[in-house]
Amino acid sequence: MIRFGPAGNSDAFYEEGHKHTVEAMEWVARMGLNAYEVSFGRGVRLKEETAGKIGEEARRYGVALSVHAPYFINLATDDPEKIAKNTSYFLESARAARWLGADRVVFHPGSCAKMDRNLAFNMTIRNFSAIMNNMDEQGFGDLTFCPETMGKINQLGDLFEIIQLAKVDERVLPTIDFGHLHTRGRGAIQTQEDFRKILDALEDGIGHERTARMHVHFSKIEYTAMGEKQHRTFAEEGYGPHFEQLAPLLWEKRLEPRIICESKGTMAMDALAMKRMFEQAKAGRQQ
């Protein structure tokens, strides 16, 4: 089943008087959404009891949960101290995912700002493989880990690198952030063909079945020469990429990703807009 949902809580959620993520599961389900991403970008601070309540609500309302691991993860290192820190960020995220009943852990692979890209990427592959083994040993072998395509050029995570990371292990699924691919290519996604090339590359790299289940982040993003500048909303004109170009391809290729919207403040509304675009594309094809 293709799923749509927000990353975190929208402005409207708070404006309507809601205060806590526990209430967000019913709120997104009533909008017609069925996914939600909990961000631990600035650290995993969720308590077990709260996570349990959020998880219960998510199951009650049929909302699939994912978590976003801390932004501090940087696998491009051979420093034992930093390797230990990375491992603990993964462990904390996995533990919180377990409490929530979330099945996917999204993470940013790392940076190559201060070193040769190939060297950085080789370290990343090596460290990630070790972390996957560690996750098995700690009893988190059933979680899906989702390395994300990144929006800045000096971050690891172009499409090719994410495909390579997904090949480390069968349980790994890519997080394709189309906004990030757009910005790291300085406006690389303009047409439906640009989307098609990305999907074709994924199918060539990891096969149709895993491509079909991929994790997706979609938002419109402003960029500069260095890549990503800031996230925008669907209501703001002049920013890409355009989901209406991707929607027919998802139906045509029978892909059923989980699509998370990271628009600034309007993530749930924009997730719903994408769901409608997908339904329209589907209806159009079936006639």
Give the footprint of Zn ion on this chain (CB under 5 A): 148
Cβ closest to Zn ion, residue 41 vs residue 185? 41
Q: State the minimum distance, in angstroms, from the CB of residue 64 to Zn ion.
A: 17
How many CA atoms within 13 Å lie on the side-chain side of 157? 33
Q: State the minimum distance, in angstroms, from the CB of residue 192 to Zn ion.
A: 25
126 φψ region: left (φ > 0), alpha (ψ -120 to 50), beta (else): alpha
Class of residue 286 by CB neighbours under 10 A (exposed 0-12, middle 13-18, buried 19+): exposed
Cβ closest to Zn ion, residue 21 vs residue 149? 149
Cβ closest to Zn ion, residue 148 vs residue 194? 148
Cβ closest to Zn ion, residue 181 vs residue 281? 181
Q: State the minimum distance, in angstroms, from the CB of residue 160 to Zn ion.
A: 18
Cβ closest to Zn ion, residue 148 vs residue 270? 148
Q: State the minimum distance, in angstroms, from the CB of residue 217 to Zn ion.
A: 6
In angstroms, rounded to a whole number, what is the distance separating the alpha carbons of residues 121 and 37?
27
Q: State the minimum distance, in angstroms, from the CB of residue 108 to Zn ion.
A: 6
Q: State the minimum distance, in angstroms, from the CB of residue 282 to Zn ion.
A: 28
Q: Which helix (H) or strand (E) holds 124?
A: helix 117-137
Q: How many helices (H) and strands (E) does the chain have?
A: 10, 12
In angstroms, rounded to a whole number, what is the distance separating the alpha carbons of residues 5 and 13?
13
Cβ closest to Zn ion, residue 148 vs residue 228? 148
Q: Are strands 64-68 and 110-111 parallel, antiparallel or unpaired?
A: unpaired
Q: State the minimum distance, in angstroms, from the CB of residue 251 to Zn ion.
A: 26
* 80 CB neighbour count, 10 Å cutoff: 8
Cβ closest to Zn ion, residue 36 vs residue 251? 36
- The residues, ordered by sequence, that sit 6+ positions from 103 with a Cβ below 8 Å of its Cβ are 64, 65, 66, 97, 142, 143, 144
State the residue number with the nearest CB to Zn ion.
Answer: 148
Class of residue 225 by CB neighbours under 10 A (exposed 0-12, middle 13-18, buried 19+): exposed
Would you say 186 and 227 are in contact if contact means Cβ atoms under 8 Å apart? yes
